[in-house]
Structure 1
Amino acid sequence: MENTNNKHWWNKDVIYQIYPRSFQDTNNDGIGDLQGIIAHLDYIKTLGATTIWISPVYKSPMVDMGYDISDYQDIDPQFGTMEDFDKLLREAKKRNLKIIMDLVVNHTSDQHEWFKKALESPTSPYRDYYIFKTTKDGKKPNNWRSIFGGSTWTEVKNEPGTYYFHTFAPQQPDLNWENPILRKQIYKMINWWLEKGIAGFRIDAITHLKKDLDWASIPADGNDGLAAVVKKGQNRPGLDLFLDELKRETFDKYNALTVGEAYGVPEKDLEKYIGPDGYFSMIFDFSYMNIEVKSADEWYRGKTDWNIKTLKTTLFNSQRAVKRVNGWSANVLENHDQPRVLSKLIKNSADQTPTAAKALATMYYFLPGTPFIYQGQELGMKNFERKSINEFNDVSSINNYKMALSEGYSQAEALKIVNSKSRDNARTPMQWTDEKFGGFSQAIPWLKMGNDRKGINVKVENQNSDSVLNYYRKMSQLRKKEEFQSVFADGELLEVKDVPSTVIAYERVLTDSKITVLVNLSNEKQSLRNFGQNIVLNNQQHVQISKNGLTLLPYQALLLEN
């Protein structure tokens, strides 16, 4: 069945993202597994989630924690077996939960059979599955810097002067999308998963598939004499041909839900991506997710001087851009690549409270589009603080630390940067209980637990009607209420502008229904005009409303029906 309507079955969905390695360990090896996901399907259901996005569980050497795939059609033994995955599909279906997978087709692992065969001989047909260059002078083909630091080129062992290309780590060689034979192999694999019964994919690094084929060096932008690869290998002319074919040969045939990780898409191209006949059902917008850093990939370059007004402008600009192309938004605060939102968007640590977590949740959950919840976000989990770079696992964090040192930062400064932005912040084990290892495992976890977790766990929050967890459940129930469901799914978004700069305010309007969302993201009271008396959601016990106006308490969030 061809999908020509982006507002299809997912326009009332809520998507819960699982990072399987850190979700639940059932065999006590310190690593989460598929059986751990199965064990908590009922919990996920209580959050109002309808679809689960699972970060990679494919066979992998785990250099980039599963985003370096050595076999697309097998499960890594750390997570279980294909039988476990099939059981997960069956158990999810019983609960009316759909499963979407992470799709990584910009690159494979260097342990993939294709790459191993490519290395066997310069004349191997698999060499054209990847990007190899032999230079006359034996030097690297150009000065492009990989996203994880260092050159994008690694020399082939026993072949001096021959290099292979990688946008990310050397163990993640890029696939050569210029090769139609390779593309067919990829489509065949995608369709195999869709035949199996998954509902779709979150598609990793999709704007990197096309590279500038001149492979020319460009002016350096760092002390290392290199230049960021995104300037020559992201959103390049000709990418649309690959994305059109990908959609036609796979997703369209199954009416699949597709969520693109589409960094750097210019607004003029947005319609191609998420318009009524776009490449994807929706894409993530990173403009507000990376609001605090100057560079999304090279965050050692420092922080921005953002404030709530900046956040508000960015958020509404993003929504307006999607509306202009009649598209659909993937609304997200956290994921496996981002620090915890409570630590990121609430600058003062004393203000990083359950109340503030609920305010942030309210801000994004009722915007037009599909809300995503990342595991632990619904508990108000926070960033950690690590004392040494040796305590980090994430390849990107370690490389950003090294780059910061090479650019003149002290060790203390570099560590501070990495602590605040590291992807490991989101990857600490899920906090089910207040036990030593959080009820995640009986063994020492693969990654050290977070160190600010008192009272932040499922067991404690389940029993507290005023917890962040139960607030997420309330939001879900409200979104599904018969009288509100249509206004949240289909209603227009109108920004409310006559409010203080630290208040994010908007209306959702559909015919004669109107819901007003008010969120105070400051630690001071804020005075507003009266928006009505009918409160349908309040993240605090009290509210100050009179005929003359309304006072929002610090970090107060309200939903009012008009």
Structure 2
Amino acid sequence: MQELKKDWWKDEVIYQIYPKSFNDSNGDGIGDLNGIRQKLPYLKELGVTMIWICPIFKSPMHDNGYDIADYEGIDPQFGTMADFDLLLEDANKMDIKIILDLVVNHTSDEHEWFQKALADKNSKYRDYYIFKEGKERPNNWRSQFGGSAWEKVEGEDVYYLHLFGKEQPDLNWENPELRQEIYAMINRWLEKGVAGFRIDSITFIKKDQDFASLPADGADGLVSCKSKTRNRPGIGEFLNELKRETFEKYNCITVGEASGVDYQDYEEFIGKDGYFSMIFDFHYADIDVESGTDWFKRSHWQVKDFKALLEQSQETIQKAGWAANFIENHDQPRALSKLVHKDYQNTNSACGIAALYFFLRGTPFIYQGQELGMLNAERTHIDEFDDISSIDNFYRGMAEGYSEKEALHFVNLRSRDNTRTPMPWNNEKFGGFSQNQPWLEMTQEYPKINTQNSIVLNFYKKMVDLRQTSEISSILINGTIEFLSNVPENVIAYVREYQNERVYSFTNLGTNVEEITWPKEIEQLFVDTHENESDKAKNVLLPYQSVLFK
């Protein structure tokens, strides 16, 4: 491969793979590494230049691989290290880079370090995690997945901290020896040839060392752990050291899952000397709920709210550094179900919301199935859910006074299982994902939405092509962004400019036909998501219509 320039990742289009649900090559109902390898030609044809693979490491799968038992072993359900090496080799031949999910806030409770910590309270591994002595829990912090963030150690008056599931004990980043072990592991992966990492829950690695309780914020008498454990003072020392000891040596890409970072701190995270290449901004992604973790607190948002958040996000990031633009991932519901009114959830609208985000300033991320315009699954009983967070939110919703039906409704809207359903490759039983019953029910048993003759898929190919290889590529990759204010409330419009060349994006995110005054006469139209329905002579945008023009 050719030598990469310093900020090479600005030119990429990244495709996120949830390996368990992408493609099953051996008929066990679980997607695997060889399944990904079989679909590399599909990804190449789509036009993506990099794939991000969710965790494939050895894991008991309490949180679908985000509970890692061995950072340098492949989980048998996904294959072997030899399978990974083959995937890496074949992807390189197609000029497709691979990044992995890095989870270093916590491990699995089955990790060797934690097992040694439990076996001997005097071993050095006890200090690799956060243990507190006492007959009572150290404080009233609630974990991200519900319930106390402290779990008692059997046979001892000792508790350990887990900000996520109880099977995911938090690592003690205050311990310098632990940090060096983590850095050495990261460097071995980079030596192997991965292009970098998406870094999970990284803003949780610094905890307030007073471990103090706070006033309860829920019916359970507990308080969200976030205000004492997320993006806390002193985290910068850890993140600078992490970058210096690993990423900086390899010219790799780093994408931080940096929830809870104030806009005023973005320069530290993604500026010229920032910790990461880019970070995900969840301010607009979590528009539908008041809190990313309490799904029963619905926000009843309007387009003007979404527009204001998107504008603030893009303008802040433009000043500070580079954006990772997304509308779906493995923790979010399907964008078409979330952003579009039920009566308009169709092919055209899927293209409309795609064009709205894809041409923003930054690197676009596509999550598997998003390029087909997939919708949320509708489940009728809590037993049909696999996601640990969905189950917690169902019972918490009822504890907060909602009926079983209401609690199930909230979970259906927001469940992480919505985007974790198996990828539909065709309209056969199990959607061509597997010959046998998949690990999680399909969104539809004989999917109407699949990769065969998909209008939305062809539209994504066109968008990727426009960004990567067209006459306006340099504008879409390098251009500045400015949002236009003299448009109707439900219209989101922005201009991208580079070397005095401009392209305009207009999207109607509402259900009414909106009258538009175009900034200038349309010279060249690159995208019109409703071209078969709209009349170019009229100055209107149909519901969920998006246009890109010069």
With structure 1 as the length reference, what TM-score do the two structures score?
Answer: 0.95
Tell me if the contact between 1:18 and 1:375 (Cα under 8 Å) persists in the aligned partners. Answer: yes
- Name the counterpart of 1:486: 474
- Name the counterpart of 2:18: 19
Q: Is residue 471 from structure 1 mapped to residue 459 from structure 2 by the alignment?
A: yes
Residue 139 (structure 1) aligned to one of 115, 126, 136: 136
Tell me if the contact between 2:431 and 2:446 (Cα under 8 Å) persists in the aligned partners. Answer: no
Residue-by-residue CA offset, 1:258-303 (whole Å, 9 max, x unaligned): 0000001011211000001100000000011100101101223x21
- Name the counterpart of 2:386: 393
Q: State the Cα distance separating 1:22 from its structure 2 match.
A: 0.2
Q: Is residue 438 from structure 1 mapped to residue 431 from structure 2 by the alignment?
A: yes
Tell me if the contact between 1:285 and 1:318 (Cα under 8 Å) persists in the aligned partners. Answer: yes
Distance 1:308 1:64 in 2: 33
Q: State the Cα distance separating 1:388 from its structure 2 match.
A: 0.3
Tell me if the contact between 1:20 and 1:33 (Cα under 8 Å) persists in the aligned partners. Answer: yes
- Name the counterpart of 2:147: 150
Distance 2:357 2:409 in 1: 28
Q: Equivalences for 1:353-432 in 2 at 5 Å?
A: 353-432=346-425
- Name the counterpart of 2:107: 108
Q: Is residue 217 from structure 1 mapped to residue 213 from structure 2 by the alignment?
A: yes
Residue-by-residue CA offset, 1:445-472 (whole Å, 9 max, x unaligned): 00001039753100232xxxxx000000
Q: Is residue 296 from structure 1 mapped to residue 285 from structure 2 by the alignment?
A: no
Distance 1:512 1:110 in 2: 56
Aligned with 2:163: secondary structure? coil
Residue 276 (structure 2) aligned to one of 276, 280, 285: 280
Distance 2:446 2:196 in 1: 34
Q: Is residue 525 from structure 1 mapped to residue 516 from structure 2 by the alignment?
A: no
- Name the counterpart of 1:464: none
With structure 2 as the length reference, what TM-score do the two structures score?
Answer: 0.97
Tell me if the contact between 2:430 and 2:445 (Cα under 8 Å) persists in the aligned partners. Answer: no
Distance 2:367 2:446 in 1: 17
- Name the counterpart of 2:529: 539
Instruction: Report the residue type matching 1:545 in the other structure.
Output: K
Residue-by-residue CA offset, 1:7-56 (whole Å, 9 max, x unaligned): 71011110000000000001111100000100011111112110100000
Q: Equivalences for 1:180-259 in 2 at 5 Å?
A: 180-259=176-255
Q: State the Cα distance separating 1:541 from its structure 2 match.
A: 2.5
Instruction: Report the residue type matching 2:70 in the other structure.
Output: D
Distance 1:468 1:311 in 2: 23
Tell me if the contact between 2:431 and 2:445 (Cα under 8 Å) persists in the aligned partners. Answer: no
- Name the counterpart of 2:549: 560
Instruction: Report the residue type matching 1:341 in the other structure.
Output: A
- Name the counterpart of 1:509: 497
Distance 2:389 2:457 in 1: 30
- Name the counterpart of 1:323: 318
Aligned-residue sequence identity (percent) comes to 54
Q: State the Cα distance separating 1:481 from its structure 2 match.
A: 3.0
Tell me if the contact between 1:536 and 1:560 (Cα under 8 Å) persists in the aligned partners. Answer: yes
Q: Equivalences for 1:115-134 in 2 at 5 Å?
A: 115-134=114-133
Distance 1:217 1:525 in 2: 52
Residue-by-residue CA offset, 1:432-491 (whole Å, 9 max, x unaligned): 001110100011000001039753100232xxxxx0000000111111234211111111
Q: 1:4 to 1:540 in 2, by over 3 A?
A: closer
Aligned with 2:430: secondary structure? coil
Residue 344 (structure 1) aligned to one of 309, 334, 338: 338
Aligned with 1:350: secondary structure? helix
Aligned with 2:497: secondary structure? strand
Distance 2:542 2:294 in 1: 37
Pairs aligned (count): 545
Q: Equivalences for 1:24-63 in 2 at 5 Å?
A: 24-63=23-62
Instruction: Report the residue type matching 1:59 in the other structure.
Output: K
Distance 1:4 1:31 in 2: 35
Tell me if the contact between 1:4 and 1:277 (Cα under 8 Å) persists in the aligned partners. Answer: no
For structure 2, which runs of at least 5 residues remain unmatched after alignment? none
Distance 2:95 2:466 in 1: 19
Distance 2:469 2:104 in 1: 39
Instruction: Report the residue type matching 2:117 in the other structure.
Output: A
Residue-by-residue CA offset, 1:76-128 (whole Å, 9 max, x unaligned): 00000000000000000000000000000000000000000000111011101
- Name the counterpart of 2:93: 94
Aligned with 2:166: secondary structure? coil
Instruction: Report the residue type matching 1:553 in the other structure.
Output: L
- Name the counterpart of 2:162: 166
Residue 450 (structure 1) aligned to one of 424, 443, 465: 443
- Name the counterpart of 1:333: 327
Q: State the Cα distance separating 1:544 from its structure 2 match.
A: 2.8
Tell me if the contact between 2:513 and 2:542 (Cα under 8 Å) persists in the aligned partners. Answer: yes
CA RMSD for the aligned pairs? 1.5
Tell me if the contact between 1:144 and 1:227 (Cα under 8 Å) persists in the aligned partners. Answer: yes
Distance 2:526 2:185 in 1: 47
For structure 1, which runs of at least 5 residues remain unmatched after alignment? 462-466
Distance 1:408 1:527 in 2: 44
Distance 1:482 1:408 in 2: 54
Distance 2:494 2:262 in 1: 25
Q: Which moved more, 1:224-233 or 1:537-546?
A: 537-546
Residue-by-residue CA offset, 1:281-333 (whole Å, 9 max, x unaligned): 00000011100101101223x210211111111101001111222x0000000
Distance 1:474 1:280 in 2: 30
Instruction: Report the residue type matching 1:123 in the other structure.
Output: N
Q: State the Cα distance separating 1:349 from its structure 2 match.
A: 1.6
